Amino acid sequence: MSEQATPPPAVTPPPDEHQRVEAAAEETAKRESSFARMMNSSVGRNLGLVIALVVLIIIGVATAGDRFASVDNMLTILRLASVIGVVSIGMTFVIIGGGIDLSVGAIVALASVWATTLATQTMAENSTWLVMVLVALAVGTGCGVVNGTLIAYGRLAPFIATLAMLAAARGLAEIISDRKTQIVDVREFVEFFGGSFLGIPRLVWIFALVSAIGWVLLNRTTFGRRTISVGGNAVAARLAGINVKRHTLYLYMLVGFACGIAAIMIIARTTTGSSTHGLLYELDAIAAVVIGGTLLTGGRGTIVGTVFGVLIFTTLTNVFTLNNLDTSSQAVAKGVIIVLAVLLQQRVAGRNGST
Amino acid sequence: MSAPTNRPLRRLLKTIGAMVAVGVLVVGCTSNEPEAEENAGATGDSNAAPAGGNDEPGETVTIGFSGPAADHGWLAAINSSAQETAESYEDIDFRAAEGTNDASLQISQIETFINEGVDAIVLLPTDGAALTDVAIQAMQAGIPVVNVDREFSSPFAARSTILGDNYGMGVSAGTYACQLIEDNSIADPVIAEIAGLDSLPLTQDRSRGFADALSDCDQEVDNRVAAEFTVESGEAEASNLLQAAPQIDIIWNHDDDQGVGVKAAFDNAGRDEFFFIGGTGSCNAMQWIEDGEMEATVLYPPTQAADGIKLARLIAQGKSISDLTQVEVPRRTVLYAPVVTADNLDEFVDQCFES
């Protein structure tokens, strides 16, 4: 009797509560059958996407043969996928964390313009091209800080805050660039990022690196687990001792940082900074993330799925161009693919019984 | 710009200018030089309208101008040249609405002009069909409308229409391509086309003109892609195009704004085996022609809105074009689309626009 009464009922959980919750979640995952585990592995969960991509590749080989299957063409597809891919990785985190960022394209534009102004370029020429890299990353992260602060501490809906940023950042990019295309004269910058390493374009390396880091961050770190719990149930996460506000801020900083990287890549790809860069990236990124199996409501998602989502879209465009088909039919095919991939994804997930 | 205190001085200058001109005529000098000098003086720093029949100051008229958002170089040049032209006339009270790509906003801008009772409206619609109704309203309210670049769907919507020749642009490019094939005796040439936004009638017109001119020398477009007038889309589409066709003889790119990206894709892929023909005539393109990196570009003058302002002023003042015998301003003016090459670059380099 007295034993039961002595420990007063805890009003707040102990500070290490979130660790216990996370450990418990891991424990449950381990207890599942080996089949379910296989289906829950990245390959299994992305089976629908793998099928879609393989079908696309088969169509590509069948219709365009050598031209499609050439190493050059594969690298072209990967290079084109890399910029939107990096943005999509950042977007994956925000969406898993229960938010959304509509301003990614505008942030890419602003960062690309800011990093290529005459002043920045002069500074880069006088010192090192890393100046441009730092400016782009700083601008991207800065926009993320604004987004995150407004959402976490200003309690704005993510949709509204980032919609405002979408308008403001692109407007600012237009003001700074005077709506002109800013050509990059810092050759070292273009040569470094436009060049290759071990025969593979550096842009593709960056995409691979960002994907790998993203995967580790989401699946192997506390940050990742917190992201999932914040997106799954923010109240529970807060009660479990996670600083939800600070974590939300970090998430938007992360996607802003990814936009900064994307801006660097797009500057290298086009050798320009422009306020028209990154048009409709928000939709492309959200589409890639969603067909990659990430829930728009948050709490669940994979990096691998997002990478597949991006690759499917880029390959689709490539196959269409190789076959000399027009853009309208391409748009129709894109729509059909989104629906098919998501349907397939749901089937696979449904049979698996985990969703 | 035109402070009242300046006017007496300017009139005096003009009178002196006219007297000098008359004097020169009396002397019987047939050289062009004095005329050129007078024009330069008139359109230069003083910002005064050049002397001559149409440009004589008349009754002050209010002209409303509405155009799309200047989101790329060509449209920016449209707006700035319209602005400059309007300011060079002291008898124009210029009202410029904020550029927009939203048809409904533009409609409300025109309604505002109607309510204000302006004397004439110069309208470059975001979408010709969408703005037709409100233009008819303006005409019915007795306000002449000058339609620039994108045509209305009804002949009652505009008093006068001034258009660049999109079809003619395609024809010029195609004819020039035919000439290149003949001059270089290319057997079985591979011809590629990088179009702009495919949903716009102007893109369809350009492509139709190109195909028609090519069929004149029994050629056709082998590979066609469509970009979106942005640097980024130009780079992406051109990268895919280069994969689709391992060997190309002639490429026509519709738009020099996106051409910066197209060129970056060529450079990235290290491909330059083809004749590269551009379109619209940006300063970048002219520079490439001078450097021998581009074969030619087909002009699409960004000064049509400026001419629209001039026409609107004449219509509102009840004047005609002084060099024509007609009593009224013509209903339709279609501009010519010349091909700029290294040979005639000097003539056109002043008309280029910064993209």
Do B132 and B246 belong together in one domain? no
Rounded Cα–Cα distance for residues A303 and A308 (Å): 9
Residue B232 and residue B290 in contact, taking contact as beta carbons nearer than 8 Å: no
Tokens encoding A337: 């693919």
Residue A319 phi/psi, 5° resolution? -60, -40
Pairing of strands B332-334, B160-163: parallel
Rounded Cα–Cα distance for residues B272 and B193 (Å): 15
Chain A residues with beta carbon closer than 8 angstroms to that of B232: 266, 269-270, 274, 276-279
Long-range pairs for B319-327: beta carbons < 8 A, 24 or more residues apart = B319/B54, B319/B58, B321/B54, B322/B52, B322/B53, B322/B54, B323/B53
More confident call, B227 vs A5 = B227
Do B216 and B291 belong together in one domain? yes
Does residue B251 sit in helix, strand or coil?
A: strand
Amino acid at B289: I
Domain interval for residue B181: 166-299
Alpha-carbon distance values, A321 to A141, A295, A328, B223, B243 (Å): 35, 31, 12, 8, 9
- β-pair partners for B192: B223, B251
Rounded Cα–Cα distance for residues A81 and B25 (Å): 67
Residue A258 and residue A89 in contact, taking contact as beta carbons nearer than 8 Å: yes
CATH of the domain at B264: 3.40.50.2300
> What pLDDT is recorded for position A30?
56
Rounded Cα–Cα distance for residues B117 and B224 (Å): 47
Of B244, B260, B267, the CB nearest to A324: B244
Do B174 and B268 belong together in one domain? yes
Q: Side by side, which strands form the sheet with B223-226? A: B223-226, B191-195, B250-253, B275-280, B296-299, B339-341
Burial pattern B254-272, b for ≥16 Cβ within 10 A else e, equals bbbbbbbbbbbbbebeebe
Q: A11-35: per-residue pLDDT in tens?
A: 565 667 667 666 665 665 555 555 5
B43 belongs to a structural domain: no
> What pLDDT is recorded for position B80?
86
* A72: contact with B, CB 8 A cutoff: yes
Shortest Cα–Cα distance, B140 to chain A (Å): 37
Q: Read off the pLDDT band of B122 (50, 70, 90).
A: very high
More confident call, A121 vs A249 = A249
Q: Read off the pLDDT band of B15 (50, 70, 90).
A: low
Residue A209 and residue A89 in contact, taking contact as beta carbons nearer than 8 Å: no
Task: Check whether A4 has a pLDDT greater than 60.
Answer: no
Pairing of strands A182-183, B191-195: unpaired
What is the end-to-end Cα distance of chain B in Å, rounded?
26
More confident call, B217 vs A337 = B217
Does residue B194 sit in helix, strand or coil?
A: strand
Do B201 and B87 belong together in one domain? no
- For residue A189, which of A135, A247, A246 has the smallest C-alpha distance? A135
> What pLDDT is recorded for position B175?
93
Q: Read off the pLDDT band of B1 (50, 70, 90).
A: very low
Amino acid at A208: A
Tally of helices (H runs) and strands (E runs) in chain B = 12, 12
Q: B39-92: per-residue pLDDT in tens?
A: 433 343 444 444 457 777 888 889 999 988 877 778 888 888 888 888 888 888
Angle ∠(A296,A302,A305) on CA atoms, nearest 5 = 95
Distance, C-alpha B105 to centroid of its chain: 24
Percent share of chain B, pLDDT over 70: 85
- The total number of structural domains in chain B stands at 3
> What pLDDT is recorded for position B147?
92
Whether residues A276 and B231 touch (CB distance < 8 A) is answered with: yes
B65 belongs to a structural domain: yes
Do B26 and B148 belong together in one domain? no
Residue A97 phi/psi, 5° resolution? -75, 10
Q: A175-199: per-residue pLDDT in tens?
A: 888 878 888 888 888 888 888 888 8
Name residues whose C-beta falls within 8 Å of residue B251's C-beta, 6 or more positions apart in sequence.
Answer: B191, B192, B193, B194, B241, B262, B274, B275, B276, B277
- For residue A253, which of A150, A163, A355, A164 has the smallest C-alpha distance? A150
**Lowest-confidence segment of A146-160, A173-187, A207-221, B112-126 by average pLDDT:** A173-187
Residue A251 phi/psi, 5° resolution? -60, -45
Residue B264 and residue A270 in contact, taking contact as beta carbons nearer than 8 Å: yes
> What pLDDT is recorded for position B173?
94
Per DSSP, B334 falls in state: E
Pairing of strands B332-334, B339-341: unpaired
Pairing of strands A182-183, A272-273: antiparallel
Residue A208 phi/psi, 5° resolution? -60, -45
Shortest Cα–Cα distance, B70 to chain A (Å): 7
> What pLDDT is recorded for position A221?
92
Percent share of chain A, pLDDT over 70: 84
Mean pLDDT confidence for B234-262: 92
Alpha-carbon distance values, A349 to A215, A264, A355, B60, B113 (Å): 20, 37, 6, 72, 58
Q: State the complex-level ipTM.
A: 0.74
3-state SS, one letter per residue, for B202-226: HHHHHHHHHHHHHHHCCCCCCEEEE
Which parts of chain B are beta strand (E)? 61-66, 92-96, 120-123, 145-148, 160-163, 191-195, 223-226, 250-253, 275-280, 296-299, 332-334, 339-341
- Which residue, among B101, B197, B240, B353, would best test binding to A if mutated, counting the most A CBs under 10 Å from its CB? B240
Q: A257-314: per-residue pLDDT in tens?
A: 999 999 999 998 888 888 888 888 998 899 899 888 888 888 888 899 899 999 988 9
Residue A89 phi/psi, 5° resolution? -60, -45
Whether residues A174 and B268 touch (CB distance < 8 A) is answered with: no
> What pLDDT is recorded for position A350?
56
Name residues whose C-beta falls within 8 Å of residue B63's C-beta, 6 or more positions apart in sequence.
Answer: B86, B92, B93, B94, B95, B118, B119, B120, B121, B122, B309, B312, B313, B316
Q: A340-352: per-residue pLDDT in tens?
A: 777 776 666 555 4
> What pLDDT is recorded for position A100?
92
Q: A55-110: per-residue pLDDT in tens?
A: 889 988 888 888 888 888 888 899 889 999 999 999 999 999 999 999 999 999 99
Whether residues A80 and B236 touch (CB distance < 8 A) is answered with: yes
Q: Taking the CB of residue A29, how many other CB atoms lie within 10 A of it?
A: 11
Rounded Cα–Cα distance for residues A349 and A342 (Å): 10
> What pLDDT is recorded for position B214?
93
Residue A271 and residue B264 in contact, taking contact as beta carbons nearer than 8 Å: yes
Q: Read off the pLDDT band of B202 (50, 70, 90).
A: confident
Task: Please name the residue ranges forming H helices in chain A.
Answer: 2-5, 17-31, 34-40, 42-45, 47-69, 71-96, 104-114, 118-126, 130-152, 158-177, 187-194, 202-220, 222-232, 234-239, 244-270, 281-291, 303-322, 327-352
Q: B250-268: per-residue pLDDT in tens?
A: 999 999 989 999 999 999 8
Chain B residues with beta carbon closer than 8 angstroms to that of A310: none
Chain A residues with beta carbon closer than 8 angstroms to that of B260: 181, 183, 270-272
> What pLDDT is recorded for position A42?
54
Do B192 and B263 belong together in one domain? yes
Do B134 and B209 belong together in one domain? no
Q: Read off the pLDDT band of A44 (50, 70, 90).
A: low
Chain A residues with beta carbon closer than 8 angstroms to that of B76: 179-180
pTM: 0.75
The residue to which tokens 């919507």 are assigned = B157
> What pLDDT is recorded for position A125?
81
B53 belongs to a structural domain: no
Q: A132-179: per-residue pLDDT in tens?
A: 999 999 999 999 999 999 999 998 999 999 999 999 999 999 888 887
CATH code 3.30.2320 for A43-352? no
Do B12 and B65 belong together in one domain? no
**Domain map (residue ranges) of chain A:** 43-352
Residue B49 and residue B293 in contact, taking contact as beta carbons nearer than 8 Å: no
More confident call, B151 vs A263 = A263
Whether residues A322 and B226 touch (CB distance < 8 A) is answered with: no
Chain B residues with beta carbon closer than 8 angstroms to that of A194: 268
Q: B206-223: per-residue pLDDT in tens?
A: 999 999 999 988 999 999
Do B120 and B180 belong together in one domain? no
H/E segment holding residue B35 = helix B33-43
Chain B residues with beta carbon closer than 8 angstroms to that of A180: 73, 76, 354-355
Chain A residues with beta carbon closer than 8 angstroms to that of B73: 179-181
B341 belongs to a structural domain: no
Rounded Cα–Cα distance for residues B144 and B156 (Å): 10
> What pLDDT is recorded for position B350?
82
Q: Taking the CB of residue A49, how many other CB atoms lie within 10 A of it?
A: 27
- For residue A103, which of A294, A307, A285, A267 has the smallest C-alpha distance? A285
> What pLDDT is recorded for position B320?
81
Do B30 and B92 belong together in one domain? no
Do B124 and B246 belong together in one domain? no
B44 belongs to a structural domain: no
> What pLDDT is recorded for position B12?
59
Distance, C-alpha A146 to centroid of its chain: 19
Residue A339 phi/psi, 5° resolution? -65, -45
List residues of chain B with CB under 8 Å from any CB of chain A. 70-73, 76, 198-199, 222-226, 228-237, 239-244, 246, 257, 260-261, 264, 267-268, 284, 354-355
Whether residues B243 and A180 touch (CB distance < 8 A) is answered with: no
- For residue B279, which of B289, B269, B268, B265 has the smallest C-alpha distance? B289
Shortest Cα–Cα distance, B312 to chain A (Å): 27
Residue B297 and residue B338 in contact, taking contact as beta carbons nearer than 8 Å: no
Of B222, B232, B354, the CB nearest to A270: B232
B50 belongs to a structural domain: no
Side-chain-side CA neighbours of residue A332 (13 Å): 4
Of A72, A179, A324, the CB nearest to B71: A179
More confident call, B242 vs B55 = B242
B281 belongs to a structural domain: yes
Tokens encoding A22: 């996370």
Do B245 and B141 belong together in one domain? no
**Lowest-confidence segment of A193-202, B318-327, B330-339 by average pLDDT:** B318-327
Chain A residues with beta carbon closer than 8 angstroms to that of B271: none
Nearest CA in chain A to B72: A179
Distance, C-alpha B232 to centroid of its chain: 23
B78 belongs to a structural domain: yes
More confident call, B203 vs B22 = B203
Q: B159-192: per-residue pLDDT in tens?
A: 999 988 889 999 999 999 999 999 998 888 999 9
> What pLDDT is recorded for position B24?
47
